[in-house]
Structure 1
Amino acid sequence: MTESPRPKPVILLVATAESRDVLENEFRGRYARDYDVRTLLGPDGVLEPAGALVAEGRQIALVGVDHGLGEVALGLVDDLRKLSPSSRRIVLVPSGTFQQALEVLRPALAVGRLDTYLLIPQGPRDEEFHTAITEYLSEWATSTSTPEVAGVRIVDDGTQPAVAGIRDFLDRMGVPWTRYRPDSAVADELFAEVGSGAELPLVSAFGRPTVVGATDRLVAAGFYGAPSDLGDDFVADLLIVGAGPAGLAAAVYGASEGLRTVVLDPEAVGGQAGTSSMIRNYLGFPRGVSGMRLAFRARLQATRFGARIFTGRAVEGLTLGDVHEVSYDEGVLQTRSVLIACGVRYRRLGVDGLEALVGMGVYYGAATSVAREMEGRDVFIVGGGNSAGQAALHLARFARSVTIVVRRPTLAETMSAYLVDEIATHDDITVLTRAQVVDGGGDGHLERISLADLDADGTTRTVPADGLFLLLGAEPGCDWLPDEVVRDARGFVLTGRDVPKELWRDGLPPAPLETSVPGVFAAGDIRAGSMKRVASASGEGAGAVSQVHAHLAAARD
C-alpha cells in the first residue's frame, strides 16, 4: 500500500481587491507546482480560514500581507504569527505608498514583527522580489519542514543520545536525513549489510559503508573523506584548524590565491556561528542569513577554489619546525604555515543529573535540528549572548514557552540591542534574570530542572522542562597547542603587539595576527582581544592570508 502524497505547504496571501490579481499571478505563476497558493481578501474574514488550515495540520510556509489594507495590516501579521509561528512573514507594499510605509514598517521590522517588506512587482520578471521570496521559502524548508528528499538514512530506537548530534551535524552541512525504526524495511537492509546485532545508531548514505554505532564525528569522517587521501608526501602551504567564519574566510582567500590550503575541524563547518538560526547584522545580507547557510556557501566557495576541508577530524598536537607538523586523530599533516581558527567551545554546566541527559532533552548549543520536536513544549535556554537570543527566537516558532535564564540583571549587557528588542515583542519568551540552573533530571529524557534565585540567597524551585539548551559562554578550544605558542591567562592566543616583548624578533613585534611562533597565526574568537562577532572573525581570517604570504616569501628568501 502506497502512502498518500503529503499536502503541499501553503503560501497565504492577504490582499486588497486592487492587488489580488497581481499577487495571485506572481505567486501562482512561480510557486504553484510546489506550494498551495491561497489568497484571502482582507482585512475581514482572514483569521478563520487561516486557523482552519492550521487545525487541519497544514503547514503555512509564508504569509504575505498587503500593506494597502492600512493600519490593520501589521495587526494581521501579528495575529497570523500567533496562529502559525513558524511561517515567514512578509508585508507587500504597493509602489505608490512605499516611502510612507517605511516609517511604519522599519520599526516593526527592527523588533521582529515581520521578516521583511517588499515592493509589489509592477511588471514581469521582478527577480529581486522573487529572490527574496525563494530565500525565505528555503530558510523555512531547512529549519521547519521535514525533508522530503531522500538523503542520509538513520536507524535508531529513540534511546541513542548520539542521534541528536548526528542530526545537528547533517543539518549544518545542508544534508537531508530521515530516521527509521529498527523494525523498518530500511533497517532490515542495513542490518543485512552490517550484521543483525550491530550497535545502533546506523547511518548510511552516498554509497559509502554504513556507519555502525555512529556519532557525529564518525559520520563526518566517513562521509567527507580523510586527510590521508592527500598522500604521504603532501605539504600544505596553509593548514587551518577550525572551519568557523575565520577559518572559512582564510580558506577562500588562501585557496583563491594559489596556496595549497587544508582545513581540519572536529565538527561541521560553521563553528558556533553555524548553529545560529538567523544572523541579521552580517554585512551584505539585508534580510539576514542563517549560520548554516552562510557556512554552506563559504564551504562551497572555498572548495571551488581548491581548498580541502575535512570534518570530523580533531587536531591533537602541533610540532614546530621549518615545516610544522599537525597531528590529528588519525595521522599527521605537514604544513609551511598554520592558522589557529578553532574558536571557542561552550562551557559545561557540570550538573551530573543534566550531563547524563545530553542529547535526550539537554543540548549544548542551539541544536536547531531539535527545534521542530519542541512543538507545544516548554524549553529553557541558559546564556545571555547573541547565540542564546537567536536560539530563543527560533525555538519560539515551535515551543509553547521559551525561558531565557541568565545570571546577570539584564540581557542588554551581553546581547545585541536588536535581539533584545525582538525578544521583548514575543509573548512566548520570558527572560529570567539573576537565576541559575542547579539541578534537573528525568527518566531517559529531560523532565524537570531546578532554578536558583540568586537574589534570594539561592532559594530553588523545580519546574517542568522538555528541553534545555546550554549556551554558557566561551572558553578556548586550543589545549593541543605547544607552550611556545603563548596564550593569556584565560587560554586565548596572543598575537602581534600583545606577544610579550621578550619574544619579539629583532626588536620587532610579530605581524598583527601572528603568534609568538613564526608561521603560526591566529584569527577569530580564539585570538585574545577579538570582538567575538562573525564579521570580525571573517575579516581576520581573510587578513591572515596576506600575512601568511609574507611569511612564506621570507622563508623562501
Structure 2
Amino acid sequence: MVCAPEHADVLGGEFGRYARDYEVRLVPTAEDVTAELQSIRDTGGRVPMLVTESVLPGTTVYAAFQSWRTIVPTAKRIIAAHWSVFLDQAPTLREGLAKGKYDAYLLMPRGVRDEEFHGAIVEMLSDWGSSVATPEVDTVRIVADGPDPVTVGVRDFLDRMGMPNRTYPPDSEVGQAIVARFADEVGDELGWPLVSAYDRVPFVAREVSAVARQIYGTPADISTEGVVDLAVVGAGPAGLAAAVYGSSEGLSTVVVEAEAIGGQAGTSSMIRNYLGFPRGISGMRLAQRARNQAIRFGTRFLTGWRVDALEPGADGEPHRVVTAGGDVHSRSVLIATGVAYRRLGVPPLEALVGAGVHYGAAVSAAREMEGQDVVVVGGGNSAGQAAVHLSRFARSVTIVVRRAGLEESMSAYLIREMALNPVISVRGRTEVVGGGGEGRLEWIVECDVDTREQTRRHVGGLFLLLGAAPHCDWIPPAVCRDDDGFVLTGRDIPQHLWVAGRPPANLETTVPGIFAAGDVRGGSMKRVAAASGEGASVVPLVHAYLAP
C-alpha cells in the first residue's frame, strides 16, 4: 500500500518491480489508505508493507501510521521522503524512527536502479515473510493433529533455523500423501508429528532434536579427520564468531549445537542495537548469516547433539567432546553454551509448556496469539523484543516484572518504543504464581510482590524470559566455575589456581587449551555484540596455545 499525494509517478514506477509477487496499490490520500486497509482486513487480506510520502495533506505521518497500525499491526511501515524535503525533515524523521513509530525512512529514488532503496524494501519484505506470513514454498512439512508441545517445538526450531515450514492436518491432501509414504517406506507405528524434510523419507519426531539429527546427521557421519584444531560447543553469537574467525584463519573447526543455531539470541524477533544493521536484524537472520559465513570458510556444524561430557586431554593428548552420536577430538575447545532461561517452577504452568506457555520468545508461536491477551515475564532486552513482536499480533501484551520498572534492566531504545505502543503495558512489582487451563493455557494468577494480593487473569499466552542460568552440567570439575555455575577465565580465576603466579590467558579456563566466551563466562556483559567480540578474541589465544 503506497500513499503518494504528490509523487505517484515516481513511487508507482519504483514499486512496479514488485507487481509480479504482490498487489501494489497506489493511493492518493491518508483517508483513502485507511478505507482500503479496512476493506482488505474485512475480506481476510494481508498487507506486508505500508509506504507513504513524508508530507501528507491534512495530517501527519505520525498520526497516519498510528491509525493504520490499529488496522494492520503486522505491516512494515516506511517513509519515502522526496529529495526536496529530505534534509529539512531528517531531524524529525530520525526522532520518530528512534521511538519506533515506523521501521525506516528512506530517500525517494531519483533515478533508475536505486538498489540502496530497494535493498531496504526487500530486506523488510523478507522479514515480514519469515515472521508473519505462511511460506509459499515449504521445505519441511509437518503433519500433526493438533498443537501439541513437540509440534510447537519442531516449528520453533525450524523457524529459528530459517527453514520454511508448514503444518498440515492428517486428513488434508498433503497430510494423507505423507502418511501414505510413511506407511509404504517405513511401516512403523504412526505417530505425530510426522515430518517430511527436503522430500526425504518421512519420520515421526518424538523430540525436537530428532529433527535436527535427521536433517544434519551425526558426529559419526562427518569425518573430522581424526583431530581438529578447534571444537566449539554452542552456536550462539560467541560460538559463531569463533567459528568464522577460526576457520577463516586456518583452524580446522567443528561446532556442536544441541538446539537451533543462534542460541538464545536466535529467538529474538528483532535486534536493533547490533552494530552495522541500522534497520535491525532478527536473531534468526543474524545467526544463519553467521553460520553460512562460517561454512564458507570450512566450519562443520553438528546440530541437534547435546554434549554429554568434556574429557580434558592429558600429557598433550587432544580433548574429547562426547555426544550420544559420536565424539569430537580437538586440540582446543571453546565453551560457548550460553545460558538458559530459568524455570518458573509452577507445576500447573510447567505442564502447559508448548500449549500456551513458552520459555523464550518462541517467534513461531506469536502468529497464534492473534486477538489474545498475552503476558511476558521478564525485564531484559529479550523480554522487550518479544513484547514488541507479540504486539503485532496480540490484542494486548503485558510485561510483568518484580522490579518497579524496566529502567535498570532494559535498553532505553526498547523502553521508548514500548511506551509509544498502545498494545503494550508494564506491570511492576508483580510475579506469576499460578495458572492453568483445559489442555492449553487459559488463565494465570498474578501476585503483588508487596501486598501478596493475588489476581486471576484470563490470558492466551505466557512467555517466560526469566534471566540466565548457565549450561554447565557437562563441564568437568577441572574447569573452575563461580558459585552461580558460570565458567571463570583469566584473572577471575582464584590465584591459588594460577600457574607459577601467572593467571591463564584472558578467556582461558583452568585447563590449558579450554576456553570460554559469551554468556556462559562469569562476568560477561550478556549482550550479542559482547559475545561476538569474545568469540572472535578467542581465536588468537587458540593460535598462541597451538603454536610450537
TM-score when normalising by structure 1: 0.95
8 Å CA contact 2:144–2:193 kept in 1: the answer is: yes
Which residues in structure 2 correspond to 1:51-66 (within 5 Å)? 51-66=38-53
In structure 2, the residue matched to 1:449 is 444
CA distance in 2, matches of 1:293, 1:213: 25
CA distance in 2, matches of 1:485, 1:251: 22
Give the letter aligned to residue 386 of structure 1.
Answer: N
Which residues in structure 2 correspond to 1:303-318 (within 5 Å)? 303-318=295-310
8 Å CA contact 1:208–1:222 kept in 2: the answer is: no
CA distance in 1, matches of 2:206, 2:29: 52
How far did 1:156 drift? 1.1
In structure 2, the residue matched to 1:95 is 83
How far did 1:159 drift? 5.1
Aligned mate of 1:523, from 517, 520, 524: 517
In structure 1, the residue matched to 2:9 is 21
8 Å CA contact 1:43–1:72 kept in 2: the answer is: no
Structure 1 window deviating more from structure 2 (202-211 vs 509-518): it is 202-211
- Are 2:252 and 1:257 equivalent residues in the alignment? no
Give the letter aligned to residue 194 of structure 1.
Answer: V
8 Å CA contact 1:203–1:214 kept in 2: the answer is: no
How far did 1:215 drift? 2.0
Give the letter aligned to residue 350 of structure 1.
Answer: G
CA distance in 1, matches of 2:99, 2:330: 47
- Are 2:71 and 1:76 equivalent residues in the alignment? no
How far did 1:490 drift? 0.6
8 Å CA contact 1:208–1:223 kept in 2: the answer is: no
Give the letter aligned to residue 525 of structure 1.
Answer: D
- Secondary structure of 1:60's counterpart equals coil
Aligned mate of 1:504, from 478, 498, 502: 498
How far did 1:414 drift? 0.5
Give the letter aligned to residue 92 of structure 1.
Answer: A
- 1:57-89: CA deviation from partner (whole Å, max 9, x where unpaired): 111000001002265222111111111000000
- Are 2:143 and 1:155 equivalent residues in the alignment? yes
Aligned mate of 1:39, from 14, 22, 26: 26
Aligned mate of 2:477, from 483, 504, 508: 483
In structure 2, the residue matched to 1:118 is 106
CA distance in 1, matches of 2:143, 2:45: 27
Paired-residue identity, %: 56
How far did 1:305 drift? 0.7
8 Å CA contact 1:111–1:421 kept in 2: the answer is: yes
- Are 2:283 and 1:294 equivalent residues in the alignment? no
How far did 1:461 drift? 1.1
- 1:460-485: CA deviation from partner (whole Å, max 9, x where unpaired): 11111111111110010111111110
In structure 1, the residue matched to 2:186 is 194
8 Å CA contact 2:242–2:538 kept in 1: the answer is: yes
Structure 1 window deviating more from structure 2 (366-375 vs 201-210): it is 201-210
Give the letter aligned to residue 286 of structure 1.
Answer: P
Aligned mate of 2:334, from 336, 339, 351: 339
How far did 1:155 drift? 1.2
- 1:445-503: CA deviation from partner (whole Å, max 9, x where unpaired): 111111001121x1111111111111110010111111110011111111111111122
In structure 1, the residue matched to 2:268 is 276
8 Å CA contact 1:65–1:77 kept in 2: the answer is: no
CA distance in 2, matches of 1:500, 1:102: 53
In structure 2, the residue matched to 1:104 is 92
Extract unaligned runs of 5+ from structure 1.
1-11
In structure 1, the residue matched to 2:392 is 397
In structure 2, the residue matched to 1:437 is 432
- Secondary structure of 1:264's counterpart equals strand
- Are 2:538 and 1:544 equivalent residues in the alignment? yes
8 Å CA contact 2:235–2:257 kept in 1: the answer is: yes
- Are 2:138 and 1:146 equivalent residues in the alignment? no
In structure 1, the residue matched to 2:363 is 368
8 Å CA contact 1:198–1:213 kept in 2: the answer is: no
CA distance in 2, matches of 1:231, 1:41: 61
CA distance in 1, matches of 2:159, 2:97: 27
- CA distance change for structure 1 residues 451 and 291 in 2, over 3 Å: closer, same or farther? same
How far did 1:210 drift? 2.4
How far did 1:190 drift? 2.8
TM-score when normalising by structure 2: 0.97
CA distance in 2, matches of 1:482, 1:424: 46
Aligned mate of 2:372, from 357, 371, 377: 377
How far did 1:46 drift? 2.6
How far did 1:356 drift? 0.6
- Are 2:253 and 1:266 equivalent residues in the alignment? no
CA distance in 2, matches of 1:375, 1:50: 18
How far did 1:197 drift? 3.3
8 Å CA contact 2:182–2:203 kept in 1: the answer is: no
- Secondary structure of 2:85's counterpart equals helix
Give the letter aligned to residue 446 of structure 2.
Answer: L
8 Å CA contact 2:218–2:326 kept in 1: the answer is: no
- 1:266-311: CA deviation from partner (whole Å, max 9, x where unpaired): 1000011000000000000011000000001000000111101111
How far did 1:221 drift? 1.0
In structure 2, the residue matched to 1:5 is none
How far did 1:22 drift? 0.5
CA distance in 1, matches of 2:30, 2:322: 64
- CA distance change for structure 1 residues 14 and 232 in 2, over 3 Å: closer, same or farther? closer
Give the letter aligned to residue 14 of structure 1.
Answer: C
CA distance in 1, matches of 2:509, 2:319: 14
CA distance in 1, matches of 2:147, 2:55: 52
Extract unaligned runs of 5+ from structure 2.
none
- 1:327-371: CA deviation from partner (whole Å, max 9, x where unpaired): 112222111000000000000111110111111111111000111
How far did 1:160 drift? 2.6
Give the letter aligned to residue 377 of structure 1.
Answer: Q
How far did 1:232 drift? 7.7
- 1:177-207: CA deviation from partner (whole Å, max 9, x where unpaired): 1212222323333343333732211111124
- Secondary structure of 2:545's counterpart equals helix
Give the number of aligned pairs. 540
